[in-house]
Structure 1
Amino acid sequence: MPLENPRHRIAVLADQCVQCGLCLPVCPTYALDGNEAESPRGRIAIAAALARGTVLPNAELREPLDHCLGCLSCERVCPAGVKYEELLVETRGLLGPAPGRPEVLLQIVKRPWLNRLVQGLARWSRASRWLGLILPAAWRAGLAFAKQKGGLVGYGKLGQHHPGPPLPSRGRATVALFPGCAGSVQDVEAERAAETLLAAAGYHVVRLPAFCCGALDAHDGALRVAEAASARIKQAWTGARANYLVTVTPGCLSTLRKSLPEVHVDDPYRLLAEQIDTLSFNPLPARLALHVPCTQANVARSDTALLKLLQRIPQLELQRLPAPPYCCGAAGSHVLQFPQRAAQLRKSVLTHVETLDVQALLSSNIGCRLHLAAGLEEKASRLLTLHPLTLLAQQWISS
Structure 2
Amino acid sequence: MRCGFCLPVCPTFKETGIEAESPRGRISLMKAAVDGIMEPGISFEDQMNHCLGCRACEPACPADVKYGQLIEQARDAVETHTKQHRWWIRGVRKMVFKELFPSQQKMRLLGSGMHFYKKSGLQSVVRKTGVVGLFSKQLSDMEKILPDASGKGITQLLGTFIPAKGEKIATVGMFRGCLMDVMFTQTNIKTVKLLSEAGFDVVIPETQNCCGALHAHSGESDQAKMLAKNNIRAFQEAGVDFIVSNAGGCGAILVEYDHLLHDEPEWKEAADWFAKRVKDISTILVEKGRPLQFADSESATTSTRVTYQDSCHLRNVMKGSNPSRQLLKEVGNVTFVEMKDAGSCCGSAGIYNVTQPEMANQILEGKMVNVNATEASYLVTSNPGCLLQMKLGIDKHGQKGKMEAVHIADFLYDRVVKH
So what's the TM-score if we normalise by structure 2? 0.81
Secondary structure of 2:414's partner?
Answer: helix
Alignment of 1:1-399 (within 5 A): 18-96=1-79, 103=93, 111-123=106-118, 124=120, 125-126=122-123, 127=126, 130-136=130-136, 139-140=139-140, 143-144=143-144, 147-149=146-148, 167-168=164-165, 170-209=167-206, 211-259=209-257, 260-263=271-274, 264-275=277-288, 278-283=291-296, 285-323=303-341, 326-382=344-400, 383-399=403-419
In the TM superposition, what is the alpha-carbon distance from 1:91 to its structure 2 partner? 0.9
8 A contact 2:168–2:201 mirrored in 1? yes
8 A contact 1:108–1:114 mirrored in 2? no
Alpha-carbon distance between aligned partners in 1 of 2:367 and 2:182, rounded to the nearest angstrom: 25
8 A contact 1:247–1:267 mirrored in 2? yes
Alpha-carbon distance between aligned partners in 1 of 2:174 and 2:377, rounded to the nearest angstrom: 30
Q: Deviations over 1:134-184 (max 9, x none)?
A: 224564465345x33379xxxxxxxxxxxxx97535232110000111111
Stretch of structure 1 that moved more, 281-290 or 22-31:
281-290
In the TM superposition, what is the alpha-carbon distance from 1:109 to its structure 2 partner? 6.4
Stretch of structure 1 that moved more, 108-117 or 182-191:
108-117
Alpha-carbon distance between aligned partners in 1 of 2:141 and 2:222, rounded to the nearest angstrom: 27
In the TM superposition, what is the alpha-carbon distance from 1:290 to its structure 2 partner? 1.1
In the TM superposition, what is the alpha-carbon distance from 1:276 to its structure 2 partner? 6.0
In the TM superposition, what is the alpha-carbon distance from 1:277 to its structure 2 partner? 5.5
Alpha-carbon distance between aligned partners in 1 of 2:279 and 2:37, rounded to the nearest angstrom: 40
Paired amino acid for 1:183? M
Paired amino acid for 1:47? M
- Are residues 128 and 113 of structure 1, via their aligned partners in 2, closer, same or farther at CA, if it must alter by over 3 Å? farther
Secondary structure of 1:25's partner?
Answer: helix
Alpha-carbon distance between aligned partners in 2 of 1:337 and 1:355, rounded to the nearest angstrom: 29
8 A contact 2:308–2:379 mirrored in 1? yes
In the TM superposition, what is the alpha-carbon distance from 1:242 to its structure 2 partner? 0.4
8 A contact 2:248–2:382 mirrored in 1? yes
8 A contact 2:387–2:406 mirrored in 1? yes
Stretch of structure 1 that moved more, 363-372 or 44-53:
44-53
Alpha-carbon distance between aligned partners in 1 of 2:414 and 2:32, rounded to the nearest angstrom: 52
In the TM superposition, what is the alpha-carbon distance from 1:120 to its structure 2 partner? 2.2
The equivalent residue for 1:158 is none
Structure 1: tracts of 5 or more residues without a match: 1-17, 152-164
How many pairs does the alignment contain? 368
8 A contact 2:242–2:278 mirrored in 1? yes
Alpha-carbon distance between aligned partners in 1 of 2:35 and 2:341, rounded to the nearest angstrom: 35
- Are residues 128 and 212 of structure 1, via their aligned partners in 2, closer, same or farther at CA, if it must alter by over 3 Å? farther
8 A contact 2:165–2:198 mirrored in 1? no
Alpha-carbon distance between aligned partners in 1 of 2:311 and 2:345, rounded to the nearest angstrom: 8
Paired amino acid for 2:386? C
Alpha-carbon distance between aligned partners in 1 of 2:167 and 2:395, rounded to the nearest angstrom: 43
- Are residues 256 and 128 of structure 1, via their aligned partners in 2, closer, same or farther at CA, if it must alter by over 3 Å? farther
Secondary structure of 2:33's partner?
Answer: helix
Structure 2: tracts of 5 or more residues without a match: 151-161, 258-270, 298-302
What is the RMSD of the two structures over their aligned residues, measured on CA atoms? 2.6
Alpha-carbon distance between aligned partners in 2 of 1:169 and 1:121, rounded to the nearest angstrom: 39
Alpha-carbon distance between aligned partners in 1 of 2:163 and 2:220, rounded to the nearest angstrom: 39
- Are residues 136 and 358 of structure 1, via their aligned partners in 2, closer, same or farther at CA, if it must alter by over 3 Å? closer
Percent identity over paired residues: 27
